[in-house]
Amino acid sequence: MSRLTVGTVATLLLGMTAVVEAADAPRTYPNSGGRLVWDRVRFYPAPGYEKDMVGGRFCGSNVSSTEGYEVLAEIKTVPPAGEWSELSFDGKRPHRWARYEAPPGSFGHICKLEFYAGSRKLGGPGFGSIGAKPGGRDWPRVYDGNDKKFKFFMDSDTPDGQYVGIDTLDAATAVRPNMSPAPGAQSGPVRVVLKTPTPGAVIRYTLDGTLPSADGKNGLEYKEAIEVKDLTTVVAVSFKEGFAPSNATNGTYLVGSSVKPGLSTFHIGNSLTATTGRFPMYAESAGYSHTYERYLQPGIWTYALWETDVLKTKEPWEKNLAKVTKVDHFTVQPRDPDVDHEAKYDILFFDLIRKKFPELQPWFYAEWTSRLRNRPWDKGTVPSRQMKTVPALTWEESASAMLVYLEDLQTKVCETYKDGKRPRVLPSVLAAGWIKNWLDHGKIPGMGPKDFDRIMFFDGVHPGSEGAYLIDMTWFASFYRQSPQGRVLPVGTNLTAEQAAAFQQLAWDVVENYPDCGLYREGTTPVAQPAFAPGKADGDVTPVTLESSTPGAWFRYTLDGTEPTRMRGYVYCGVVSVRPGMTLKAVGYKSGMADSSVASVSYPQSR
């Protein structure tokens, strides 16, 4: 292993194994306040790409994971291949966020990375720039401890602006506040006391689920016990000058009559179902004591979960199922493009769980497609009973195609699944489809197109806390049959109150206006007929937006001349890519109204 110690900006010298001490390199940190100072790093270069690390920088921030970085060390020469290199440097002060910034043109090439404060290895949640070439070489590979042969590394699909780091949380900040009494059910009013052991730290708190800010623009300064007389959610952060804000402490107090009977839900699938792990916390912020159980395996499909866990390994599954004592709602997470094959195993699970809980409501959880949009529904290769499918050319159209697959699956299952409640489709994918369109068109305060990847693909596969919140809002609306607006707080996210309100509105709009969720109301006044607004053609593709004079109208459309209905065709998510020879037909609908007449336009064959 190469090891070097240098001054304020470190320089890695090829092949040098001795320790070089710079005269101006102080090794004590008198202003650290007892917190850890990041002053050492170990890294393993991506095999064959060692030269791509030259110019890479190690930086620390006390502002956020994306802003406020100062350079602490820089790699000047090519690191040795096939071994760890180590750098020691002047850490200057505690930094909550530590990251490696890859040089321009390097595609982020780095294999493994470890951060240290002296001899102590620092931990915390990772983060990084979004993007990977085919093969899944995104930033989480850098922290893959099971990769003992160093086969996997970061390899972005974008050459510049790549980085990977960790949030050290309280290790380099004032200690997060402690709440007493602990959040949860209370028999009567309580006085909530907030404390931090960090001398000189100030605690700020909010009661709307948002994060307090250091500048005093959001939240109140804690000075005395908080009187809690009914349902209250407290989010508290410790602040100390010269340090980053602490991680937040949050909790909901369910006091007396403010506690509402909660539901019990059970969920199977993979990590996109795990996205909803905070759902009980969100339901609690609305006053519901929710019971949430799940059985998940990474990346698994429904058939494999049945064939392996239910039929072969058995014990973990049986233990998990034994502890489930009540189920009001049960979800599966389909993704097998062979509809008949997926339907077989969905029915097996529905029957198995319904034997124990006959009144449960089954759901098909409509996940969203991959960031690369390379799955069968994106390519238009999954046959549909609704119409002739076409390749999806945008994220919005991929969301529509994914929903068609789920609806065809539902139809297949319902051919033979006749007992118990009819399975419904939980249309989270529509919220995922629309969020990009909203971001692209500036419909969410303080957010724009650059935020999409962070929201829906934080690690290249899974959503960040904001995206998970959006998905959880669709679950809340579907299960609790009410709008999350003004009820479910954005705890554990970085959303402002205005941004959270937009996410809640979108989720409710999706669930209320998707007829299969059970909240759709028939009406007598028809929605105004859709109008087509073609954009500038890009080659043989014309982007078309659908409009209606009826505010809040939804649309279904087809591209093969088939007649759309509110439960037939693609659900419009903001854009339609029309190609020569296609006939675009669309119908408008909205909960509480009658459907519009069908509008139609044909595009001539290209010359």
Domain ranges of the chain: 1-172, 178-258, 264-517, 531-602
The sign of the dihedral angle between the CA atoms of 278, 279, 284, 285 is positive
**What average pLDDT does this structure show over 193-220?**
95
Sign of the C-alpha dihedral computed for residues 478, 484, 490 and 494 taken in this order: positive
Q: Which residues is 59 bridged to in the sheet?
A: 71, 99
Do the domains spanning 178-258 and 531-602 agree at the CATH topology level?
yes
CA distance 547 to 559: 17
What's the pLDDT tens digit per position in 351-363?
A: 999 999 999 999 9
Does residue 25 have a pLDDT over 80? no
Query: Per-residue confidence at 9, pLDDT binned at 50, 70, 90?
Result: very low
Cα(152)–Cα(158) distance, rounded to whole angstroms? 18
pLDDT digits (tens, 9 = 90+) for 298-356: 999 999 999 999 999 999 999 999 999 999 999 999 999 999 999 999 999 999 999 99
Arithmetic mean of pLDDT, 508-525? 97
The C-alpha atoms of residue 325 and residue 190 are separated, in whole angstroms, by 31
Q: Is the pLDDT of residue 6 over 50?
A: no
pLDDT at residue 442 is higher than 70: yes
Q: Spelled out in words, what is the top-level CATH class assigned to the domain 178-258?
A: mainly beta
Q: What is the pLDDT of residue 8?
A: 34
Residue 183 CA to residue 330 CA, distance in Å, equals 28
Share of the chain above pLDDT 70, in %: 94
pLDDT at position 19: 29
Q: Is the pLDDT of residue 245 over 50?
A: yes
CATH 3.40.1160.10 fits 264-517, yes or no: no
3-state secondary structure of 599: strand
Q: Residue 70: name the closest of 97, 109, 52, 45 by CA.
A: 97
Note the pLDDT tens digit of each residue in 222-242. 999 999 999 999 999 999 988
b/e sequence 256-277, b meaning 16+ C-beta within 10 Å? eebbeebbbbbbbbbbbbebbe
Q: CA-CA distance, 529 to 300, in Å (whole number)?
A: 43
Quick one: fold of 531-602?
Immunoglobulin-like (2.60.40)
Q: According to the model, what pLDDT value does residue 44 have?
A: 98
Check residues 31 and 155 and name the one with the higher pLDDT. Answer: 155
The first and second tokens of residue 103, run together, are 């040089």
pLDDT value at position 455? 97
In this structure, which long-range contacts are made by residues 508-512, counting pairs with CB atoms below 8 Å and at least 24 apart in sequence? 508/473, 508/477, 508/483, 508/484, 509/552, 510/427, 510/428, 510/430, 510/431, 510/434, 510/474, 510/477, 511/427, 511/474, 511/477, 511/478, 512/477, 512/483, 512/591
Mean pLDDT of the chain, nearest integer:
93
Edge to edge, the sheet with strand 329-332 lists 291-296, 264-269, 329-332, 361-365, 424-426
Q: What is the pLDDT of residue 29?
A: 65
Domain 1-172 classification at class level: mainly beta
Q: Residue 30: which pLDDT band, with cuts at 50, 70 and 90?
A: low
Average pLDDT over residues 54-72: 95
Task: Using pLDDT thresholds of 50, 70 and 90, give the confidence band for residue 605.
Answer: confident
In this predicted structure, the answer to whether residue 4 has a pLDDT above a threshold of 60 is no
Give the pLDDT confidence of 388-437 residue by residue, as tens digits. Answer: 999 999 999 999 999 999 999 999 999 999 999 999 999 999 999 999 99
Predicted local confidence at residue 257, as pLDDT: 81
- pLDDT per position as a tens digit, 552-578: 999 999 999 999 999 999 999 999 999
Residues 191-209, mean pLDDT to the nearest whole number: 96
SS (H, E, C) 68-117: CEEEEEECCCCCCCCCCEEEECCCCCCCCEEEEECCCCCCCCECEEEEEE
Query: What's the pLDDT tens digit per position in 121-157?
Result: 999 999 999 988 877 689 999 999 999 999 999 999 9
